[in-house]
Structure 1
Amino acid sequence: MDIYVLDSTAQILDMIDNFESIIWTVQYFNVGEFELIVPVTEKNIALLQKDRLLCRDKDRNGDIWRNVMIIENVKTVADYENGDSMTISGRGLKSIVGRRVVWQQTNLAGNVETGIRQVLTENIIAPADEKRKIDNFILDEPAGITDTFDTQLLGEDLDEWIMSTCQTYGLGWDVYIKDRKFVFILYKGCDRSYGQKDNLPVVFSDEFDNLLASTYTYERAEFKNAALVAGEGEGVNQRTTTVGDSGGLERYEAYIDGSSVSSNGTIITEEQYYKMLQDYAKDELSTTSFTESFEGNVIPDGNYNLNEDYFLGDVVQVINEYGISATPRIVEIIESEDENGKSTVPTFSTWEV
């Protein structure tokens, strides 16, 4: 494997073809990360500097570069016995979105994709203050996402807000390079489980001899699924609403302070205000939900090939050695390579049992 090194304008500087190990983690909801260990050489010291961009040769297609990473940390270790080495690490190119916050109060009502594109335009692409603009950052064509929301923003880190929003609606996002421009895209993975008929199923199981190891985890420390939400006002005049339809023993209630959600006087309607209050509460409840995940170590060159038969964000069929079958989404793919060989570890999460 060769690794291209680009400058901050996406101009090719050189390539790395000699390394001790590499871990490349791409994520559907989050920004991803990497770690690269290389020998200490004059070339590597000069080349692998902070803010440089890295891309594997397998992720390049002409002028399109995907799964790009940014160097954020450089560590040099002098070791007489094992040899000197440099550890280079950082996060995905997507993380540049997090260099901006929502600069002014913004009310979003309607299509989720339209709202995200608006926030990016106002805070990165064409902000009122030219100093806030990121040159060469553009939007891809709309993906046709149909989900809707009502929300209010001020001061949020853009990457954290986008990650939270995408997780709520099951969307993936990325920033890739095309013609030396940074291109933002939203997308939704395909359903490749047994429960659909449009795509060939992708199954990871002992029976198919493509699941080397698996770990199932369920955590529910402070689970809440219903809430009383308090908005503007005080005492008997305080605006309140509720979210959550579960009942009986299946109902876990919380109180959420939504006083930060503002009606801006008469700028928005009463209906819009309560919808924003409910969406705020749903976002808060999402931080107290249970975690159910399935991590599997699959055979890289087995009966399915990554980025040919299945992709990050797809829903697949997983059957563990105990016969438990589920249709989780692939939310993360960790690819590693060192002297011991190659490994591909997808993280399957959000079970639909």
Structure 2
Amino acid sequence: MYLEIFKAENTGNDLSIMLSGVCDTFSSVIWDVEYFSPGKFEIYVSANAETIALFQRGNIVGRSDDKQHYGIIEGVYLRTDAESDDYLTISGRFLMCLLNRRIIQPTLSFTAYHTYGEIVQTAVQRNCIRSWAKAERVIPALEIGDVSGACWDTRTKLQISYENLMEWIYTVCQNIGGTANIRLREVSDGKYTMYFELSQGTDRSIMQQENMPVVFSDVYDNLLTYIYNSDYSEYRNYAYVYGEGEGAQRQFATCYAGKEMPTGLSRYEMYVNASDLSQTVRSDDGSETVVSEAEYMEILKERGAENLVAPVLSSEATIVAESHQFVYGKDYKVGDFITMQHTGYGIQIPRVRLVGMIESFDSDGYGLTPVVQE
């Protein structure tokens, strides 16, 4: 494995992305891929004229063996020492963090049912993509890519405004079980463009029969360490959502997690202020439309669903990196459902989502640390 460094230069109103060089003599690399956040990376390398020129803030870093994840350099730390080697620490997040630089403006309103895929793509188009967004808000070299996964076909109504674009997209991802990513794709000889893509993980747990199950267990000698965490302190599963209006005239709706309404000690209530949601929707041409009360209730419920708080049920483990049973990136990837068990303590989680994977490359070899979430 070696690192690929791409230089991103503004050329007028566009962005030129070209391979600038490679680096295969690093001391360590941490590659933290996450499903519901942009993920991050850190590189530790000897400092010299060549590496300092390569690892500049704003350049893009990829891996020769990973064509799905590309990071933008946000931090460069240089330390010189007369008695030992000089070194660079380079850090950043993967390219989805570019959407963290935009908010949703103006209001995005879907009063008729649309798929989540259509809604999220429209939000990115209107706030980032040329011919849709204002010229000064365009993220150069960003295009709309593919949508895959049944979760993105789910249909809903919603209204959203002034939220951070990246954070809102990941909120949608958590609600429906999908993920978003921006990666590089070569479009001509030596030139690259960024593509925004939506996808969904695959069920590889023992609870299904379509795919080969992926099981990490002390029995199979592929589970080295295991930590289980269960925390309901912030859990909220029932929302009172209040929209526009004053006092007793204020519009409100309720929503809850799951198929059955929670009651008694199983009910964790919360208040959601949705006063920014209006029944009067202004379109891009300045005309106004008043949505029906039933449609407005659906929009309020969608806002409430976005704010429900799931319990923290997570596991961290260290697994055998060079496993002959399951190869990361080939047999399973971040976003997939897998099975984890520790027979010594009678613990089995038959279906758990892999929401993160930290890959580490250093003098000790190659390591994999998965993060899972029920």
TM-score category (smaller protein): over 0.9
1:185-200 mapped onto 2 (5 Å cutoff): 185-200=197-212
- Matched AA of 2:65: K
Secondary structure of the structure 2 residue equivalent to 1:224: coil
Deviation sequence 1:47-85 (CA, Å, 0-9, x none): 1100101111111xxxxx321111000001123444211
Equivalent-residue separation in structure 2 for 1:91 and 1:16 (angstroms): 19
Query: Given the alignment of the two structures, is residue 301 of structure 1 paired with residue 322 of structure 2, yes or no?
Result: yes
- 1:133 maps to which residue? 138
1:184-333 mapped onto 2 (5 Å cutoff): 184-244=196-256, 245-264=261-280, 266-286=289-309, 289-302=310-323, 303-320=325-342, 321-326=344-349, 327-333=351-357
Query: Given the alignment of the two structures, is residue 175 of structure 1 paired with residue 182 of structure 2, yes or no?
Result: yes
Secondary structure of the structure 1 residue equivalent to 2:358: strand
Aligned 8 A contact 1:23 1:34 in 2: yes
**Count of aligned positions:** 343
1:49-88 mapped onto 2 (5 Å cutoff): 49-59=56-66, 65-88=67-90
Give the alignment partner of residue 51 of structure 2, picking from 21, 44, 57.
Answer: 44
Equivalent-residue separation in structure 1 for 2:297 and 2:87 (angstroms): 57
Q: Give how far 1:4 is off.
A: 0.7
Aligned 8 A contact 1:10 1:177 in 2: no
Equivalent-residue separation in structure 2 for 1:22 and 1:257 (angstroms): 43
Give the alignment partner of residue 166 of structure 1, picking from 165, 173, 177.
Answer: 173
Can you give the 5+ residue segments of structure 1 that lack an aligned partner in the other structure?
60-64
- Matched AA of 1:216: Y
Cα distance change on mapping 1:128 and 1:11 into 2, 3 Å: closer
Aligned 8 A contact 2:76 2:89 in 1: yes
Equivalent-residue separation in structure 2 for 1:270 and 1:52 (angstroms): 49
Query: Given the alignment of the two structures, is residue 34 of structure 1 paired with residue 56 of structure 2, yes or no?
Result: no
Q: Give how far 1:150 is off.
A: 2.2
Aligned 8 A contact 2:243 2:251 in 1: yes
1:89-108 mapped onto 2 (5 Å cutoff): 89-108=91-110
- Matched AA of 1:75: Y
Secondary structure of the structure 2 residue equivalent to 1:123: helix
Equivalent-residue separation in structure 1 for 2:163 and 2:270 (angstroms): 23
Q: Give how far 1:127 is off.
A: 2.9
Query: Given the alignment of the two structures, is residue 116 of structure 1 paired with residue 120 of structure 2, yes or no?
Result: yes
Point out the more displaced range, 242-251 or 141-150. Answer: 141-150
Point out the more displaced range, 123-132 or 274-283. Answer: 123-132
Equivalent-residue separation in structure 2 for 1:204 and 1:86 (angstroms): 36
- 2:284 maps to which residue? none
Equivalent-residue separation in structure 2 for 1:73 and 1:273 (angstroms): 44
Equivalent-residue separation in structure 1 for 2:224 and 2:237 (angstroms): 35
Secondary structure of the structure 2 residue equivalent to 1:328: strand
- 1:62 maps to which residue? none
Cα distance change on mapping 1:117 and 1:211 into 2, 3 Å: same
Name the % identity: 31
Aligned 8 A contact 1:28 1:172 in 2: yes
Bigger strand fraction: 2
Q: Give how far 1:220 is off.
A: 1.9
Aligned 8 A contact 2:96 2:182 in 1: yes
Q: Give how far 1:128 is off.
A: 4.1
Q: Give how far 1:307 is off.
A: 1.1
Equivalent-residue separation in structure 1 for 2:84 and 2:367 (angstroms): 24
- Matched AA of 1:16: C
Deviation sequence 1:218-242 (CA, Å, 0-9, x none): 1222322112222211222121221
Equivalent-residue separation in structure 2 for 1:229 and 1:13 (angstroms): 51
Q: Give how far 1:25 is off.
A: 0.6
Equivalent-residue separation in structure 1 for 2:239 and 2:209 (angstroms): 38
Q: Give how far 1:87 is off.
A: 0.5
Point out the more displaced range, 216-225 or 24-33. Answer: 216-225
Deviation sequence 1:244-265 (CA, Å, 0-9, x none): 2101111122222221211116
- TM-score when scaled to structure 2? 0.88
Cα distance change on mapping 1:40 and 1:141 into 2, 3 Å: closer
Deviation sequence 1:162-191 (CA, Å, 0-9, x none): 111101110012111112111111111110
Point out the more displaced range, 245-254 or 142-151. Answer: 142-151
